[in-house]
Amino acid sequence: MNHASRDDVLAWDRTHVWRPYTPIDRHEQGPPPPVIRRAEHVWLHTDDGRTLIDGVGSWWVSNLGHGHPRVRAAVHEQLDRMAHVAMAGLAHEEGARLAKRLADITPDGLTRAFYSDNGSTAVEVAVRAAFQFWRQNGAPERRLFLSFDGAYHGDTIGTVSVGGIPTFHDTFGPLLFETVRAPAPPEQPDFEDAAFAALEQALEPRASEVAAVVVEPLVQGAAGMRMHSPAWLRRVRALCDAHGVLLIADEVFVGFGRTGTLFACEQAGITPDFLCLSKGLTAGFMPFAATMTTERIYDGFRGGPERTFFYGHSYCGNPLGCAAAHAVLDAFEQDDVLGNVAARGAQLDAWLARVATRDHVAHVRRTGLVAAVQFAEGDRSNYLARTGWNVYEEALRRGAYLRPLGNVTYFVPALTIRETELAGLLEIADASIEAALSPPR
Ligand SMILES: *Cc1c(COP(=O)(O)O)cnc(C)c1O
Protein backbone atom coordinates (compact mmCIF):
# COMPACT_ATOMS: atom_id res chain seq x y z
CA MET A 1 0.00 0.00 0.00
CA ASN A 2 1.21 3.51 -0.80
CA HIS A 3 1.13 5.46 2.41
CA ALA A 4 -0.77 8.72 2.52
CA SER A 5 0.86 11.73 4.11
CA ARG A 6 0.28 12.36 7.80
CA ASP A 7 -1.61 15.55 6.94
CA ASP A 8 -4.00 13.67 4.66
CA VAL A 9 -4.64 10.99 7.28
CA LEU A 10 -5.37 13.56 9.96
CA ALA A 11 -7.60 15.60 7.64
CA TRP A 12 -9.66 12.52 6.64
CA ASP A 13 -9.80 11.45 10.25
CA ARG A 14 -11.07 14.80 11.47
CA THR A 15 -13.57 15.20 8.65
CA HIS A 16 -14.98 11.70 8.35
CA VAL A 17 -14.28 9.57 11.41
CA TRP A 18 -16.70 9.53 14.33
CA ARG A 19 -14.51 8.43 17.20
CA PRO A 20 -15.93 6.20 20.02
CA TYR A 21 -16.35 7.60 23.52
CA THR A 22 -14.86 10.93 22.45
CA PRO A 23 -16.42 14.38 22.84
CA ILE A 24 -16.64 15.92 19.37
CA ASP A 25 -14.90 19.14 20.35
CA ARG A 26 -11.94 17.10 21.59
CA HIS A 27 -11.90 15.22 18.28
CA GLU A 28 -12.09 18.41 16.25
CA GLN A 29 -10.12 20.89 18.32
CA GLY A 30 -7.92 18.77 20.58
CA PRO A 31 -4.35 17.91 19.71
CA PRO A 32 -4.21 15.56 16.71
CA PRO A 33 -3.96 11.88 17.71
CA PRO A 34 -0.77 9.93 17.06
CA VAL A 35 -1.02 8.17 13.69
CA ILE A 36 0.02 4.56 14.26
CA ARG A 37 1.68 2.79 11.35
CA ARG A 38 2.86 -0.38 13.01
CA ALA A 39 2.37 -2.17 16.30
CA GLU A 40 4.72 -4.75 17.71
CA HIS A 41 4.66 -6.33 21.17
CA VAL A 42 3.98 -3.40 23.56
CA TRP A 43 5.18 -0.79 21.06
CA LEU A 44 3.09 1.48 18.86
CA HIS A 45 5.13 3.09 16.10
CA THR A 46 3.85 6.42 14.80
CA ASP A 47 4.27 7.73 11.29
CA ASP A 48 6.50 10.54 12.51
CA GLY A 49 9.03 8.15 13.94
CA ARG A 50 7.94 8.10 17.59
CA THR A 51 7.35 5.01 19.66
CA LEU A 52 4.63 4.78 22.31
CA ILE A 53 4.40 2.04 24.88
CA ASP A 54 0.85 0.64 25.00
CA GLY A 55 -0.09 0.79 28.69
CA VAL A 56 -3.72 -0.23 28.25
CA GLY A 57 -3.43 -3.11 25.77
CA SER A 58 -5.28 -1.09 23.13
CA TRP A 59 -8.52 -0.97 25.10
CA TRP A 60 -7.86 -4.18 27.05
CA VAL A 61 -7.55 -6.60 24.16
CA SER A 62 -3.83 -6.89 23.43
CA ASN A 63 -3.08 -9.52 26.08
CA LEU A 64 -0.13 -11.09 24.29
CA GLY A 65 1.20 -7.89 22.78
CA HIS A 66 0.78 -6.74 19.21
CA GLY A 67 1.88 -8.96 16.34
CA HIS A 68 2.53 -12.03 18.49
CA PRO A 69 4.31 -14.35 16.00
CA ARG A 70 2.31 -17.42 16.98
CA VAL A 71 -1.07 -15.77 16.54
CA ARG A 72 -0.07 -13.95 13.37
CA ALA A 73 1.10 -17.17 11.76
CA ALA A 74 -2.10 -19.00 12.74
CA VAL A 75 -4.35 -16.31 11.27
CA HIS A 76 -2.28 -16.15 8.06
CA GLU A 77 -2.48 -19.90 7.64
CA GLN A 78 -6.22 -19.87 8.26
CA LEU A 79 -6.79 -16.98 5.86
CA ASP A 80 -5.09 -18.88 3.06
CA ARG A 81 -7.35 -21.87 3.59
CA MET A 82 -10.77 -20.49 4.59
CA ALA A 83 -11.69 -17.03 5.86
CA HIS A 84 -15.30 -17.70 6.67
CA VAL A 85 -18.23 -20.07 6.22
CA ALA A 86 -21.58 -19.95 7.96
CA MET A 87 -22.13 -21.99 11.12
CA ALA A 88 -25.76 -22.66 10.30
CA GLY A 89 -25.84 -26.20 8.96
CA LEU A 90 -22.05 -26.38 8.41
CA ALA A 91 -19.28 -27.50 10.70
CA HIS A 92 -15.57 -26.82 10.69
CA GLU A 93 -12.64 -28.20 12.63
CA GLU A 94 -11.55 -24.78 13.90
CA GLY A 95 -14.87 -24.11 15.61
CA ALA A 96 -15.52 -27.63 16.83
CA ARG A 97 -12.05 -28.03 18.31
CA LEU A 98 -12.18 -24.60 19.95
CA ALA A 99 -15.53 -25.38 21.61
CA LYS A 100 -14.00 -28.55 23.02
CA ARG A 101 -10.87 -26.73 24.19
CA LEU A 102 -12.93 -24.01 25.88
CA ALA A 103 -15.09 -26.63 27.57
CA ASP A 104 -11.90 -28.29 28.84
CA ILE A 105 -10.31 -25.15 30.34
CA THR A 106 -13.30 -23.15 31.63
CA PRO A 107 -14.81 -23.96 35.06
CA ASP A 108 -16.33 -27.42 35.39
CA GLY A 109 -19.79 -27.83 33.93
CA LEU A 110 -19.45 -25.29 31.11
CA THR A 111 -19.71 -27.58 28.11
CA ARG A 112 -21.28 -25.55 25.29
CA ALA A 113 -19.88 -22.64 23.29
CA PHE A 114 -22.09 -20.17 21.46
CA TYR A 115 -19.98 -18.00 19.16
CA SER A 116 -20.41 -14.35 18.25
CA ASP A 117 -18.17 -11.42 17.43
CA ASN A 118 -17.55 -9.10 20.36
CA GLY A 119 -17.95 -8.61 24.08
CA SER A 120 -21.35 -6.98 23.86
CA THR A 121 -22.76 -9.86 21.84
CA ALA A 122 -21.18 -12.39 24.21
CA VAL A 123 -23.26 -10.87 27.03
CA GLU A 124 -26.32 -10.27 24.83
CA VAL A 125 -26.34 -14.00 24.01
CA ALA A 126 -26.32 -14.89 27.72
CA VAL A 127 -29.10 -12.42 28.57
CA ARG A 128 -31.30 -13.61 25.72
CA ALA A 129 -30.66 -17.30 26.36
CA ALA A 130 -31.35 -16.91 30.10
CA PHE A 131 -34.61 -15.12 29.38
CA GLN A 132 -35.77 -17.69 26.85
CA PHE A 133 -34.64 -20.57 29.06
CA TRP A 134 -37.08 -19.57 31.80
CA ARG A 135 -39.84 -18.70 29.37
CA GLN A 136 -39.95 -22.20 27.96
CA ASN A 137 -39.03 -24.11 31.12
CA GLY A 138 -41.83 -23.38 33.50
CA ALA A 139 -40.90 -19.97 34.92
CA PRO A 140 -41.89 -17.29 32.40
CA GLU A 141 -42.21 -14.83 35.31
CA ARG A 142 -38.41 -14.85 35.54
CA ARG A 143 -37.87 -11.93 33.18
CA LEU A 144 -35.74 -9.53 35.23
CA PHE A 145 -31.98 -9.19 35.42
CA LEU A 146 -30.13 -8.04 38.48
CA SER A 147 -27.08 -5.95 37.77
CA PHE A 148 -24.74 -3.73 39.77
CA ASP A 149 -24.03 -0.04 39.99
CA GLY A 150 -20.89 0.62 37.97
CA ALA A 151 -21.48 -2.39 35.71
CA TYR A 152 -20.39 -2.31 32.10
CA HIS A 153 -21.45 -5.17 29.87
CA GLY A 154 -21.30 -3.64 26.40
CA ASP A 155 -23.00 -1.15 24.14
CA THR A 156 -25.99 -2.93 22.62
CA ILE A 157 -29.39 -1.97 24.03
CA GLY A 158 -29.64 -5.29 25.88
CA THR A 159 -26.24 -4.93 27.51
CA VAL A 160 -26.77 -1.24 28.24
CA SER A 161 -29.95 -2.29 30.08
CA VAL A 162 -27.79 -4.25 32.52
CA GLY A 163 -25.17 -1.48 32.62
CA GLY A 164 -24.77 0.83 35.59
CA ILE A 165 -22.64 3.80 34.50
CA PRO A 166 -24.84 6.90 34.39
CA THR A 167 -22.57 8.91 32.02
CA PHE A 168 -22.75 6.15 29.43
CA HIS A 169 -26.18 4.72 30.02
CA ASP A 170 -28.68 7.30 31.29
CA THR A 171 -29.41 8.81 27.87
CA PHE A 172 -30.91 5.54 26.72
CA GLY A 173 -33.15 5.04 29.75
CA PRO A 174 -36.44 5.06 27.83
CA LEU A 175 -35.21 2.27 25.54
CA LEU A 176 -33.97 -0.09 28.24
CA PHE A 177 -35.72 -3.07 29.83
CA GLU A 178 -36.42 -3.15 33.54
CA THR A 179 -33.68 -4.42 35.84
CA VAL A 180 -33.17 -4.91 39.55
CA ARG A 181 -30.19 -2.88 40.67
CA ALA A 182 -27.79 -3.59 43.53
CA PRO A 183 -24.99 -1.39 44.88
CA ALA A 184 -21.55 -1.93 43.34
CA PRO A 185 -19.53 -4.89 44.64
CA PRO A 186 -17.54 -3.99 47.79
CA GLU A 187 -13.98 -2.77 47.23
CA GLN A 188 -12.88 -3.45 50.82
CA PRO A 189 -13.38 -6.73 52.67
CA ASP A 190 -14.75 -4.65 55.59
CA PHE A 191 -17.72 -3.65 53.45
CA GLU A 192 -18.52 -7.14 52.23
CA ASP A 193 -21.21 -7.94 54.77
CA ALA A 194 -22.99 -4.63 54.23
CA ALA A 195 -22.74 -4.93 50.45
CA PHE A 196 -24.02 -8.48 50.58
CA ALA A 197 -26.95 -7.44 52.78
CA ALA A 198 -27.78 -4.72 50.25
CA LEU A 199 -27.61 -7.25 47.44
CA GLU A 200 -29.93 -9.61 49.31
CA GLN A 201 -32.29 -6.73 49.96
CA ALA A 202 -32.37 -5.86 46.26
CA LEU A 203 -32.86 -9.44 45.13
CA GLU A 204 -35.15 -11.00 47.69
CA PRO A 205 -38.40 -9.08 47.15
CA ARG A 206 -38.33 -9.98 43.45
CA ALA A 207 -36.23 -13.15 43.48
CA SER A 208 -38.92 -15.28 41.87
CA GLU A 209 -39.04 -12.86 38.92
CA VAL A 210 -35.29 -12.70 38.39
CA ALA A 211 -33.84 -14.66 35.47
CA ALA A 212 -30.18 -14.00 36.18
CA VAL A 213 -27.64 -11.92 38.04
CA VAL A 214 -25.02 -10.36 35.75
CA VAL A 215 -21.59 -9.70 37.25
CA GLU A 216 -18.07 -8.73 36.19
CA PRO A 217 -15.97 -11.15 38.27
CA LEU A 218 -13.23 -9.54 40.43
CA VAL A 219 -12.88 -6.28 38.47
CA GLN A 220 -15.52 -3.83 37.28
CA GLY A 221 -13.42 -2.49 34.43
CA ALA A 222 -15.20 0.52 32.96
CA ALA A 223 -16.32 1.71 36.41
CA GLY A 224 -12.68 2.65 37.01
CA MET A 225 -11.07 -0.73 37.72
CA ARG A 226 -13.08 -1.34 40.91
CA MET A 227 -11.97 -4.59 42.50
CA HIS A 228 -13.66 -7.06 44.83
CA SER A 229 -12.69 -10.33 46.46
CA PRO A 230 -13.20 -13.90 45.25
CA ALA A 231 -15.03 -14.51 48.54
CA TRP A 232 -17.67 -11.98 47.58
CA LEU A 233 -18.12 -13.57 44.17
CA ARG A 234 -18.60 -16.92 45.90
CA ARG A 235 -21.36 -15.40 48.03
CA VAL A 236 -23.08 -14.07 44.92
CA ARG A 237 -23.07 -17.58 43.42
CA ALA A 238 -24.50 -19.01 46.66
CA LEU A 239 -27.22 -16.36 46.77
CA CYS A 240 -28.21 -17.13 43.17
CA ASP A 241 -28.39 -20.84 44.03
CA ALA A 242 -30.52 -20.15 47.09
CA HIS A 243 -33.09 -18.38 44.90
CA GLY A 244 -32.83 -20.53 41.78
CA VAL A 245 -31.42 -17.57 39.85
CA LEU A 246 -28.89 -18.02 37.03
CA LEU A 247 -25.47 -16.35 37.17
CA ILE A 248 -23.95 -14.66 34.12
CA ALA A 249 -20.22 -14.03 34.57
CA ASP A 250 -19.01 -11.38 32.14
CA GLU A 251 -15.31 -12.21 31.78
CA VAL A 252 -15.00 -10.27 28.54
CA PHE A 253 -12.33 -8.13 30.20
CA VAL A 254 -10.91 -10.38 32.92
CA GLY A 255 -10.90 -13.71 31.06
CA PHE A 256 -7.64 -15.24 29.80
CA GLY A 257 -5.17 -14.43 32.51
CA ARG A 258 -5.84 -10.79 33.25
CA THR A 259 -6.48 -11.38 36.97
CA GLY A 260 -3.65 -13.89 37.39
CA THR A 261 -5.66 -17.05 36.74
CA LEU A 262 -6.93 -18.12 33.35
CA PHE A 263 -10.46 -17.15 34.43
CA ALA A 264 -11.42 -14.91 37.34
CA CYS A 265 -14.18 -17.33 38.44
CA GLU A 266 -11.47 -19.90 39.21
CA GLN A 267 -10.31 -17.80 42.15
CA ALA A 268 -13.76 -18.10 43.70
CA GLY A 269 -14.04 -21.77 42.77
CA ILE A 270 -17.40 -21.20 41.12
CA THR A 271 -19.05 -22.17 37.86
CA PRO A 272 -21.42 -19.55 36.46
CA ASP A 273 -24.36 -20.59 34.27
CA PHE A 274 -22.97 -18.41 31.50
CA LEU A 275 -19.37 -17.32 30.99
CA CYS A 276 -18.93 -14.48 28.47
CA LEU A 277 -15.57 -14.34 26.73
CA SER A 278 -14.18 -12.03 24.10
CA LYS A 279 -11.29 -9.57 24.43
CA GLY A 280 -8.54 -11.90 25.64
CA LEU A 281 -9.93 -14.85 23.66
CA THR A 282 -8.29 -13.54 20.49
CA ALA A 283 -6.01 -11.04 22.26
CA GLY A 284 -6.61 -8.20 19.84
CA PHE A 285 -6.18 -10.15 16.61
CA MET A 286 -9.77 -10.74 15.52
CA PRO A 287 -13.19 -9.54 16.71
CA PHE A 288 -14.55 -12.76 18.19
CA ALA A 289 -16.47 -14.02 21.21
CA ALA A 290 -17.82 -17.12 22.90
CA THR A 291 -20.55 -17.53 25.48
CA MET A 292 -20.04 -20.74 27.45
CA THR A 293 -22.95 -22.45 29.16
CA THR A 294 -24.03 -25.71 30.79
CA GLU A 295 -25.87 -28.79 29.57
CA ARG A 296 -28.77 -27.78 31.80
CA ILE A 297 -29.27 -24.55 29.85
CA TYR A 298 -28.65 -26.25 26.51
CA ASP A 299 -31.19 -28.97 27.36
CA GLY A 300 -33.75 -26.25 28.00
CA PHE A 301 -33.80 -25.56 24.27
CA ARG A 302 -34.61 -29.16 23.27
CA GLY A 303 -38.10 -30.37 22.48
CA GLY A 304 -39.18 -28.90 19.15
CA PRO A 305 -38.38 -26.22 16.61
CA GLU A 306 -40.41 -23.60 18.49
CA ARG A 307 -37.89 -23.93 21.34
CA THR A 308 -34.94 -22.94 19.13
CA PHE A 309 -32.62 -20.14 20.18
CA PHE A 310 -33.29 -17.83 17.25
CA TYR A 311 -30.13 -15.86 17.55
CA GLY A 312 -26.93 -15.67 15.49
CA HIS A 313 -24.61 -13.18 13.83
CA SER A 314 -23.21 -13.35 10.31
CA TYR A 315 -19.70 -14.06 11.55
CA CYS A 316 -20.70 -16.61 14.17
CA GLY A 317 -17.83 -19.08 14.63
CA ASN A 318 -15.61 -17.20 12.18
CA PRO A 319 -12.64 -19.50 11.41
CA LEU A 320 -10.13 -16.64 11.53
CA GLY A 321 -11.31 -15.85 15.05
CA CYS A 322 -11.11 -19.54 15.97
CA ALA A 323 -7.56 -19.74 14.57
CA ALA A 324 -6.49 -16.71 16.59
CA ALA A 325 -8.09 -18.19 19.74
CA HIS A 326 -6.30 -21.52 19.26
CA ALA A 327 -2.97 -19.72 18.97
CA VAL A 328 -3.75 -17.67 22.10
CA LEU A 329 -4.53 -20.85 24.04
CA ASP A 330 -1.30 -22.42 22.73
CA ALA A 331 0.59 -19.41 24.08
CA PHE A 332 -0.97 -19.89 27.52
CA GLU A 333 -0.07 -23.60 27.44
CA GLN A 334 3.51 -23.15 26.27
CA ASP A 335 4.83 -19.73 27.31
CA ASP A 336 4.11 -19.40 31.07
CA VAL A 337 2.09 -16.22 30.52
CA LEU A 338 0.58 -16.52 34.01
CA GLY A 339 4.04 -16.71 35.57
CA ASN A 340 4.83 -13.35 34.00
CA VAL A 341 1.55 -11.91 35.30
CA ALA A 342 2.59 -12.82 38.85
CA ALA A 343 6.09 -11.37 38.47
CA ARG A 344 4.95 -8.14 36.82
CA GLY A 345 2.19 -7.84 39.41
CA ALA A 346 4.77 -7.80 42.19
CA GLN A 347 6.71 -5.16 40.24
CA LEU A 348 3.55 -3.05 40.00
CA ASP A 349 2.87 -3.39 43.73
CA ALA A 350 6.22 -1.85 44.62
CA TRP A 351 5.50 1.11 42.34
CA LEU A 352 1.91 1.51 43.54
CA ALA A 353 3.05 1.59 47.16
CA ARG A 354 5.23 4.60 46.35
CA VAL A 355 2.55 6.38 44.32
CA ALA A 356 0.03 5.89 47.12
CA THR A 357 2.02 8.26 49.35
CA ARG A 358 1.67 11.19 46.93
CA ASP A 359 -0.66 14.10 47.58
CA HIS A 360 -3.83 13.97 45.47
CA VAL A 361 -3.67 10.20 45.10
CA ALA A 362 -6.76 8.81 46.79
CA HIS A 363 -6.33 5.08 46.23
CA VAL A 364 -4.21 2.52 44.43
CA ARG A 365 -5.16 -1.09 43.70
CA ARG A 366 -4.20 -4.13 41.68
CA THR A 367 -5.55 -7.53 40.66
CA GLY A 368 -3.32 -9.58 38.34
CA LEU A 369 -2.17 -7.20 35.62
CA VAL A 370 -4.86 -4.61 36.21
CA ALA A 371 -3.58 -1.71 38.29
CA ALA A 372 -5.22 1.62 39.03
CA VAL A 373 -4.26 4.95 40.54
CA GLN A 374 -7.27 6.98 41.58
CA PHE A 375 -6.88 10.73 42.02
CA ALA A 376 -8.60 12.73 44.72
CA GLU A 377 -10.06 15.46 42.53
CA GLY A 378 -13.75 15.37 41.66
CA ASP A 379 -15.87 12.29 41.38
CA ARG A 380 -14.51 9.01 40.08
CA SER A 381 -17.82 8.13 38.54
CA ASN A 382 -17.38 11.04 36.17
CA TYR A 383 -15.75 9.69 33.03
CA LEU A 384 -15.00 13.25 31.95
CA ALA A 385 -13.17 14.25 35.17
CA ARG A 386 -9.90 15.92 34.25
CA THR A 387 -6.94 14.51 36.17
CA GLY A 388 -6.77 11.21 34.35
CA TRP A 389 -6.98 13.03 31.03
CA ASN A 390 -4.18 15.39 32.04
CA VAL A 391 -2.01 12.39 32.90
CA TYR A 392 -2.97 10.88 29.54
CA GLU A 393 -1.80 13.94 27.63
CA GLU A 394 1.41 14.20 29.62
CA ALA A 395 2.08 10.50 29.04
CA LEU A 396 1.49 10.76 25.29
CA ARG A 397 4.12 13.50 25.16
CA ARG A 398 6.52 11.25 27.06
CA GLY A 399 5.87 8.14 24.98
CA ALA A 400 3.08 6.14 26.61
CA TYR A 401 -0.56 5.41 25.75
CA LEU A 402 -2.42 5.53 29.08
CA ARG A 403 -6.03 6.30 28.27
CA PRO A 404 -7.82 6.94 31.59
CA LEU A 405 -11.27 6.34 33.08
CA GLY A 406 -12.11 9.76 34.51
CA ASN A 407 -10.02 10.21 37.63
CA VAL A 408 -8.43 6.83 37.33
CA THR A 409 -5.18 6.23 35.49
CA TYR A 410 -4.92 2.51 34.98
CA PHE A 411 -2.52 -0.05 33.60
CA VAL A 412 -3.68 -2.99 31.52
CA PRO A 413 -0.49 -3.89 29.68
CA ALA A 414 0.13 -7.01 27.64
CA LEU A 415 0.42 -10.00 29.98
CA THR A 416 3.74 -10.65 28.25
CA ILE A 417 5.27 -7.25 29.02
CA ARG A 418 8.91 -7.56 30.13
CA GLU A 419 10.35 -6.21 33.36
CA THR A 420 12.33 -3.41 31.69
CA GLU A 421 9.34 -2.43 29.55
CA LEU A 422 7.04 -2.18 32.55
CA ALA A 423 9.70 -0.22 34.42
CA GLY A 424 9.86 2.21 31.48
CA LEU A 425 6.08 2.56 31.40
CA LEU A 426 5.95 3.26 35.14
CA GLU A 427 8.73 5.82 34.84
CA ILE A 428 6.70 7.69 32.24
CA ALA A 429 3.59 7.36 34.41
CA ASP A 430 5.49 8.80 37.38
CA ALA A 431 6.65 11.85 35.47
CA SER A 432 3.22 12.32 33.87
CA ILE A 433 1.40 12.16 37.21
CA GLU A 434 3.92 14.60 38.67
CA ALA A 435 3.34 17.01 35.77
CA ALA A 436 -0.44 16.64 35.83
CA LEU A 437 -0.67 17.25 39.56
CA SER A 438 1.69 20.20 39.80
CA PRO A 439 -0.11 23.55 39.76
CA PRO A 440 -0.23 25.26 36.36
CA ARG A 441 2.52 27.79 35.82
C1 LIG B 1 -15.33 -4.45 26.76
C2 LIG B 1 -16.35 -5.11 27.58
C3 LIG B 1 -17.57 -5.52 27.03
C4 LIG B 1 -17.96 -5.19 25.63
O5 LIG B 1 -17.11 -5.72 24.68
P6 LIG B 1 -17.09 -5.10 23.20
O7 LIG B 1 -16.21 -6.02 22.44
O8 LIG B 1 -16.52 -3.72 23.35
O9 LIG B 1 -18.48 -5.07 22.71
C10 LIG B 1 -18.45 -6.21 27.83
N11 LIG B 1 -18.16 -6.48 29.10
C12 LIG B 1 -17.00 -6.11 29.67
C13 LIG B 1 -16.73 -6.47 31.10
C14 LIG B 1 -16.06 -5.39 28.93
O15 LIG B 1 -14.94 -4.97 29.51
Q: What is the CA 169 to chain-centroid distance, rounded? A: 17
| pLDDT at 441 exceeding the cut of 60 | no
d(CA 105, ligand 1 centre) in Å: 21
| pLDDT at 381 exceeding the cut of 70 | no
User: Tens of pLDDT along 65-122?
Assistant: 999 999 999 999 999 999 999 999 999 999 999 999 999 999 999 999 999 999 999 9
Nearest to 114 by CA among 134, 95, 97, 101: 95
Mutate to test the pocket of ligand 1, among 58, 153, 219, 251 (most ligand atoms within 8 A of CB): 153
Which atom of ligand 1 is found nearest the CA of 59?
1
Spatial separation of the C-alpha atoms in residues 157 and 66, rounded to whole Å: 31
d(CA 251, ligand 1 centre) in Å: 9
| pLDDT at 167 exceeding the cut of 90 | no
Q: Is 118 in the pocket of ligand 1 (CB under 6 A)?
A: yes
pLDDT at 368: 98
Could you give phi then psi for residue 164, rounded to 5 degrees?
A: -140, 35
Spatial separation of the C-alpha atoms in residues 109 and 175, rounded to whole Å: 35
Q: Is 120 in the pocket of ligand 1 (CB under 6 A)?
A: yes
Which atom of ligand 1 is found nearest the CA of 154?
4
Of all residues in the chain, what percent carry a pLDDT higher than 70? 97
Residue 100 known to be catalytic: no
Determine the average pLDDT of the residues in 336-364. Answer: 96
| pLDDT at 385 exceeding the cut of 90 | no
Spatial separation of the C-alpha atoms in residues 409 and 304, rounded to whole Å: 52
Average pLDDT in the chain: 95
Residue 115 known to be catalytic: no
> pTM of the entire structure?
0.97
User: Tens of pLDDT along 236-295?
Assistant: 999 999 999 999 999 999 999 999 999 999 999 999 999 999 999 999 999 999 999 999
Which atom of ligand 1 is found nearest the CA of 156?
9
d(CA 283, ligand 1 centre) in Å: 13
pLDDT at 179: 97
Set 115, 117, 152, 383: catalytic member: 152
